Chains A and B, each alone.
Chain A
Amino acid sequence: MDLSAISPTLLVASLMVASTPILLASIGELVVEKSGVLNLGVEGMMIVGAICGFAAAVLTGSPMIGFLCAALGGAAISLIFAVLTQYFLSNQVATGLALTLFGLGLSALLGQSYVGIKPPTTYKLDLPLISDIPILGPILFSHDFTVYAALSLVAGVWWFLKYTRSGLILRAVGESHDAAHALGYKVVRVRVMSIMFGGACAGLGGAALSLVRVPQWTEGMTAGSGWIALAIVVFASWKPERILLGAYLFGGVAVLQLNLQAAGVSIPVEYLSMSPYLITIIVLVAMSANRAKSALNAPAALSRVFHASR
């Protein structure tokens, strides 16, 4: 066993990269849930984004077009969910699950001819001098742009929900769609837009996986990241700043597990692999222990069907 082989600096730097896909997906899902919609299709939207981004990047040779197509692909497939739940008033849980299954199948079909292909390299920040600063350089100034995009998206969502009028409307729709409707806000329109934003974010998260983190395409490569993103939203009790904490915790455990193995530590890796889920369960129990408090956290209209009958 040689724990000194694990460099804390590199550990932090690599957990930031490893967490980026789930960070992107969970910040998108947070906005969706804040508007009162529970979309369990994150996994499906992520993997569709992963293959759309991968295919577009390979075909055009440009990772940026890849990311753009990933966001569009994720948003497009989320539109199916939006139409079904917002206009045809289908059950959100069932529709979300169906979206995940559909996304996994569709991506496998689309990706058949992309297995084993090398995608173009994504631009990586490499500032002379600054990227070489000890500790801070590797952590802050030497990532690919998805890391910075994800972080600014978290900051942007936090600011949007807290300080803008549109953010207030979005939260109002999520807390009480009847009241928001009575005030003249377009509940369905707000929700459809939120769902598509969530889809675009999940798509970007998928592309961060297939274009940056791996970078390769394989069937089912998201391997449950979408579900982790859903868990993070609950773990974060619907607060954007805590999403960051949750994503880094979940991503960190995955990286730490491999680091400990390489350093020759003999704790069974299964314990570390299950720890994020254990933490989520504990947080859920702690939150629901105090009913008044938990009611404050979750959007009150979450997963309730809205129909403007009055």
Chain B
Amino acid sequence: MGGNLMKFRSILAGAALALTAASGSLADKTKVGFVYVGPVGDGGWTYEHDQARKAVVAKFGDKVETMYVESVPEGPDSERVMTDMALKGADLIFTTSFGYMDPTINVAAKFPNVKFEHATGYKMADNVSIYSARFYEGRAVQGHIAGHMTKSNIVGYIGSFPIPEVIRGINAAYIHAKDVNPDVQFKIIWAYTWFDPTKEADAAKVLIEQGADVVLQHTDSTAPQAAAQAAGNVITFGQASDMSEYGPKPRVSSIIDNWAPYYIARTQAVMDGTWSSTSTWDGIGAGMVGIGEITSAVPADVKASAEALLARLRDGSYHAFTGPVNKQDGSAWLARGETADDGTLLGMGFYVQGIDSEMPN
């Protein structure tokens, strides 16, 4: 359905493009395309990207024209969507999910004059920039609160795909939960999807049945929040977006992605002709990662210590991966006081010591 509708739209747009190319009336507008992995109404990841798109429109008004396609499957089908946008005259295309990495590189090679921005990946080209946020800093704060709040000492974690970004989050949360609660145990379920409320709800229910009273999620829908609310004494954290409609409980805080400043800056760069291929990885300090309000369900002392941790992460006096940290197999990773380098973090494919779960292949 979505595909057919889109084809229809693109036919119309193609016709419109032919007309405008003849008249040349749109020549001075910068066209920015966005490829989304979920629906804009997911209340999480894609919602925040779309908020940033709206911020771009608000900032530049008539000088910019944006287009987006929702729920684009990761993989080859996304190439078709990107190609379509490039053919429609996009000057800048944001591809907003890890699974668009190879498709972005492939399409970028075919359209050297179009600029591409790929989120959360690691492959670059002359016309492909990469950008991501240090979500793991937010995960550290979540882990800190989770470690304090759990009574069963079991923290459930819904992972999407076993990729570095998600593994980093699990490790950061675990290290900081363990810091304040040595008995804490993580149970991890991989949903193998970014957005599937049915699977996410089922995963949350199973984690709760197995004793988890804190559920962290690295998937984009609010379904785990609803499951936690139904179960009663379980707390959760908003993912990618504030999800404050589930506060003050189960949602006790959140990681909020703030892409707007970056999207505005990159669009400006294209307009000015100063765009170049860059790698951006900003965290709490730069404002790309926000922490949603810690609600009244969290005791005041826990809230205060979480905010202290947040402040140290913000001013850079503390790195979320600071040694001593061993890998899961017991081998040394970070010595005392040593902090992780970005290269290792970007390619992280191992759990830290203490996580009792096997990484799927």
Residues of A in contact with B (beta carbons under 8 Å apart): 2, 5-7, 10-11, 14, 18, 104-105, 108-109, 115-116, 118, 121, 209, 213-216, 218-219, 221, 223, 254-255, 258-259, 261-264, 266, 268-269
Contacts and interface: CB of A to CB of B under 8 A. Distances in A.
B358 A264 contact: yes
Contacts of A221: 197-198
Contacts of B314: none
Contacts of A264: 187, 356-358
Among A105, A213, A262, find the residue whose CB has the most chain B CB atoms closer than 10 A: A262
Interface string B86-111: 00000000000000000000000000
Contact of B42 (A2, A6, A115): A115
Given A10-B209, A14-B205, A258-B206, A215 B189 contact: no
Contact of B189 (A214, A218, A261): A261
A216 B209 contact: no
A263 B209 CA distance: 11
B39 A219 contact: yes
Contacts of B196: 218, 223
Nearest to B356: A264
A5 B202 contact: no
Contacts of B221: 116, 216, 218
Nearest to A7: B209
Contacts of A254: 202
B355 to A, nearest CB: 10
A71 B164 CA distance: 45
By Cβ-Cβ distance, the 4 closest A-B pairs, closest first, are A115-B41, A105-B1, A116-B41, A258-B206
A216 B199 CA distance: 12
B131 to A, nearest CB: 25
A214 B206 contact: no
B330 to A, nearest CB: 18
Interface in B313-361: 356-358, 360
A134 to B, nearest CB: 15
B268 interface: no
Interface of B: 1-2, 4, 39, 41-43, 47, 71, 156, 187-190, 192, 195-198, 201-203, 205-207, 209-211, 221-223, 226, 230, 245, 356-358, 360
B202 A18 contact: yes
Contact of B198 (A116, A213, A269): A213
B67 to A, nearest CB: 18
A266 B211 CA distance: 20
27 contacts: A14-B206, A14-B209, A104-B1, A105-B1, A108-B2, A109-B1, A116-B43, A116-B221, A213-B202, A214-B197, A214-B201, A214-B226, A215-B226, A216-B223, A216-B226, A218-B195, A221-B197, A221-B198, A223-B196, A255-B206, A258-B189, A259-B206, A262-B187, A264-B358, A268-B360, A269-B190, A269-B360
Given A5-B211, A105-B1, A218 B39 contact: yes
A188 B205 CA distance: 45
B170 to A, nearest CB: 14
Main secondary structure of the interface of B (DSSP, over half): mixed
A223 B198 contact: yes
Contacts of A209: 198
Given A5-B210, A213-B201, 19 more contacts: A10-B209, A118-B226, A118-B245, A215-B226, A216-B197, A216-B222, A216-B223, A219-B2, A221-B197, A221-B198, A254-B202, A259-B209, A262-B203, A264-B187, A264-B357, A266-B358, A268-B360, A269-B192, A269-B360
B214 to A, nearest CB: 14
A220 to B, nearest CB: 9
B361 to A, nearest CB: 8
A304 to B, nearest CB: 32
Nearest to B187: A262
B93 to A, nearest CB: 23
Contacts of B206: 14, 255, 258-259, 262
Contacts, number: 97
Nearest to B154: A5
Nearest to B47: A116
A116 B356 contact: no
Contacts of A268: 360
Contact of A214 (B188, B192, B223, B357): B223
A217 to B, nearest CB: 8
A179 B39 CA distance: 53
A219 B221 CA distance: 13
B68 to A, nearest CB: 15
Contact of A263 (B4, B47, B210, B226): B210
Given A108-B1, A219-B39, A261-B190, A214 B209 contact: no
Contacts of B197: 214, 216, 218, 221
Nearest to B209: A10
B220 to A, nearest CB: 10
Given A214-B223, A215-B226, A264-B356, A258 B42 contact: no
A10 B209 CA distance: 7
A18 B199 CA distance: 11
A67 B187 CA distance: 35
A262 B156 contact: yes
A50 to B, nearest CB: 10
A109 B188 CA distance: 35
Given A6-B210, A219-B39, A259-B210, A214 B198 contact: yes
B81 to A, nearest CB: 16
A112 to B, nearest CB: 9
A226 B225 CA distance: 27
B222 A116 contact: yes
A219 B202 contact: no
B189 A262 contact: yes
Contacts of A218: 39, 195-198, 221
Nearest to B185: A2
A262 B207 contact: yes
A218 B205 CA distance: 19
